[in-house]
Amino acid sequence: MTINLEVPKKFALIVNQARQVSQEIFRPISRKYDQSEHEYPKELDMLASLIDGMNASGEASTGARGVRREASGDTGNRNGTNMSGVLSIIEACWGDVAMVLSMPRQGLGNAAIASVANDEQHARFDKTWAAMAITEPSFGSDSAAVQTTAVLDGDHYVLNGEKIFVTAGGRCDSVVVWASLDRSKGRAAIKSFVVEKGTPGMQVERLEHKLGIRASDTATIRFTDCRVPRENLLGSAEIEADQGFAGVMQTFDNTRPLVAGMAVGCARAALDELHDLLADAGVPIDYDQPVFTQHAAAAEFLKLEADWEAAYLLTLQATWMADNNKPNSLQASMAKAKAGRVGVEITLRCVELAGAYGYGEGALLEKWARDSKILDIFEGTQQIQQLIVARRLLNKSSTELK
């Protein structure tokens, strides 16, 4: 497998535009909306309209909405919507993670639709802003423990259950809900449903107060006898025990590299800020000299950047494999685990090395440190990613290795 580490020429424009958006739109309003938790950043409406126009013209978009595996007869290396989405989301999160998570029609639920929906559903839900509802009060990373039920009644499924930590759950147009068709049949019966806002029986109960990504709303949603059209079930309604819940899990193969890209972008922002601070303090960073001959702060910076590089490359690998229709569950979890961990470590260490400047609200370093923690948690925690990697490498099932 060969990967060209340069940004593909066809994505240079969208990557550059994402950097400009970060610099000119996200960063100037980042602190304002961090302090005004749950207030919607109205500046994003105009940006969303611009992105819609780019989509209509055939250009790639920033964020999760563009992630979709496509069949291709091309046997060579292919860089498609996954690579475009990840590269642009890295640049966007260099500006502000919470703003990216608050972008209309760029939700993680949109990535779920792109991953699992058939062509008719993809066209029907193309303009929706979709959140993704997986976690429940009874479980966190064990997605197979879904308690929410979906019972077929005529032309509708009736949903009952409660979902927590739904990113953009208060602002979105619809929610992709994971629910079980038959809890006695285990994980094979877990399917995902698109539930549109305003559907009777769907209630947003509260918005959470959080450590980071405060500009992004995180909701608790309850479903009580919520009737959803049967055609809103994503993918096949058949319960196939031999495949487990591979359909809905394919969502993670696409979204985990996206979240890894978010962590990579946020960590890069912290490193760039620290690099400038060290330069202003007269501490040079020499890539041609041995680390042990340099200033202690410069040596630490080089160590952090090496860790960042590893996370970046793992993210590109998982993304490239998705674009080329190669199984990437292992690589997606490796990228998510590495990027989530080093993102937290890098941002916190940059705060420490920056001293009082890094700890105060005069700079964004302390905000990036708070924001980065969620990227090590959602879409599967650090621990669950390591467990998935171990199962894949050792060829063990979930029952054999817990």
Q: Which residues are catalytic?
A: 379
Residue burial 293-304, b: 16+ Cβ < 10 Å; e: rest: ebeebbebbeeb
At 2 the three-state DSSP class reads coil
In 142-198, alpha helices (H):
none
| SS3 assignment, position 177 | strand
Helical segments of 324-396, H only: 329-354, 356-359, 365-375, 382-394
Is residue 287 within 8 Å of 273, Cβ to Cβ? Answer: no
How many residues are given for the chain?
A: 402
Find residue 136's DSSP bridge partners: 139
Cα distance between residue 374 and residue 338, in whole Å:
14
Q: What angle, 0 to 180 degrees and rounded to 10, lies between the N-to-C axes of helices 296-323 and 81-95?
A: 150
Q: 3-class SS at 72?
A: coil
Virtual torsion, Cα 160, 259, 256, 400, nearest 10 deg? -80
Question: Closest Cα to residue 221, out of 188, 249, 251, 198?
Answer: 198
Question: What φ, ψ does residue 166 adopt, rounded to 5°?
Answer: -90, 105
- Phi, psi (deg, nearest 5) at residue 94: -65, -25
Q: Cα-flanking dihedrals φ and ψ of residue 195, to 5°?
A: -115, 120
- A 10 A CB-CB count for 226 gives 24
DSSP state of 24: I
Residue 26: strand, helix, or coil: helix
Q: What is the DSSP letter of 66?
A: G
